[in-house]
Structure 1
Amino acid sequence: MAFGPNPPSLQPHLCVKGGIEAIAFYEKAFGAECTFKQMAEDGARVMHANLAVFGGEIMLHDDFPEFGGDVRPPHGHGGASVALNVNLPSPADVDAAIARAEAAGGTVFMPAGDVFWGARYGRLTDPFGHVWAFNAPLAKA
């Protein structure tokens, strides 16, 4: 695995069905950069990938049910069990991030709005079943 010089202490590792397509979606929707990719022997599935995104890093791999994996993709298993929360600098960034991800194929289920904790916040599901939440503090009066 290739990590940056200072890997984050907590790194989400996403399991997807369609790793190549997922990498392309995250690049288009979130401006991610694939910093490492190792394909499986079948040449069709991603064994492991690292993506630099939103100032952090996520890992990603295709589903490998033949290995009896304990991490499976959200689709077909009742949905995601966590949301990936992205803190952004400004409320306008929340709207822009959600619009960009929706244009790339994400499904918005909580449009960006001002919420009671003093933030601009919205959520969407990516085409691979993972939930992304975007948050930015509202300007103080």
Structure 2
Amino acid sequence: MTQAEIQATTEGIDILTPHIVVRDAGKAAEWYKEVLGAEERGRVPVPGGKFMQIELWFGNSAVMLADEFSDMGILSPLSIGGTPVVLHLTTKKVEALWQRAIDAGAVILQPLQEQFWGDLHGQILDPFGYRWNLAQHLRDVPSEEIARIAASIFGGQA
């Protein structure tokens, strides 16, 4: 399949939309709305008080939440001991967002600080087991400079 053949099929939903599994999707949706500023646009409840899907929007990007269904092998990071997934959220007011997240129980994994690629950036772990990069773009940095610095940090030379 070529890039030209990859097209969104649902109005308003991006071509690639994360679906994340959490323990207590209703509670998680409220946390993401109150703390990270998400807007809820729909829910699909199922028996037992769980949700097959909760559609959240962060600006122009959708993230779908689902509850754990362990009997079907659908597990959250809290059940499998973590996740390699990192969600990246860019904002114009990262310091305020950062403080709200910490005050609401997020754990700091990487402190909020200016990075060599030009962002004020840090990483948190939310109460539901997901890593979030929170960032604000401060300045443009030439890609050659980013590559040179990254190579020196990761043990090589560009």
Give the TM-score normalised by the residue count of structure 2: 0.76
Match of 1:23 among 26, 29, 44: 29
The structure carrying a bigger helix percent of its residues is 2
Amino acid at match of 2:119: A
Structure 2 counterpart SS, 1:101: helix
Amino acid at match of 1:75: L
Amino acid at match of 1:22: A
Contact 1:29 1:104 in 2 (8 A): yes
Amino acid at match of 2:114: D
- Distance in 2 (alpha carbons) for counterparts of 1:36 and 1:4: 14
Contact 1:54 1:86 in 2 (8 A): no
Q: Which moved more, 1:80-89 or 1:28-37?
A: 80-89
Amino acid at match of 1:88: T
The gaps in structure 1 that reach 5 residues or longer are: none
Q: Which digits, 9 at most, give the CA deviation of each residue in 1:79-125, with x for residues without a partner?
A: 12110011234xxx221211111222222222210112222101101
Deviation, structure 1 residue 139:
3.5
Distance 1:4 1:34, change over 3 A: farther
Give the TM-score normalised by the residue count of structure 1: 0.84
Structure 2 counterpart SS, 1:24: helix
Which contiguous aligned blocks of 4+ residues in structure 1 show a shift greater than 4 angstroms? none
- Distance in 2 (alpha carbons) for counterparts of 1:25 and 1:68: 25
Q: 1:12-51, aligned counterparts within 5 Å?
A: 12-42=18-48, 44-51=49-56
Deviation, structure 1 residue 67:
1.8
Deviation, structure 1 residue 4:
7.5
Question: Which residue in 2 is equivalent to 1:101?
Answer: 101
- Distance in 1 (alpha carbons) for counterparts of 2:79 and 2:34: 25
Distance 1:131 1:54, change over 3 A: farther
Question: Considering only CA atoms, is the larger Rg found in Structure 1 or Structure 2?
Answer: 2
Deviation, structure 1 residue 76:
3.1
Deviation, structure 1 residue 13:
0.5
Q: 1:54-133, aligned counterparts within 5 Å?
A: 54-69=59-74, 72-89=75-92, 93-133=93-133
Amino acid at match of 1:67: M
Name the structure, 1 or 2, with higher relative contact order (CA <8 Å, separation 6+): 1
- Distance in 1 (alpha carbons) for counterparts of 2:45 and 2:68: 12
Alpha-carbon RMSD across the aligned residues, in angstroms, is 1.9
Deviation, structure 1 residue 137:
2.3
Q: Percent identity?
A: 29
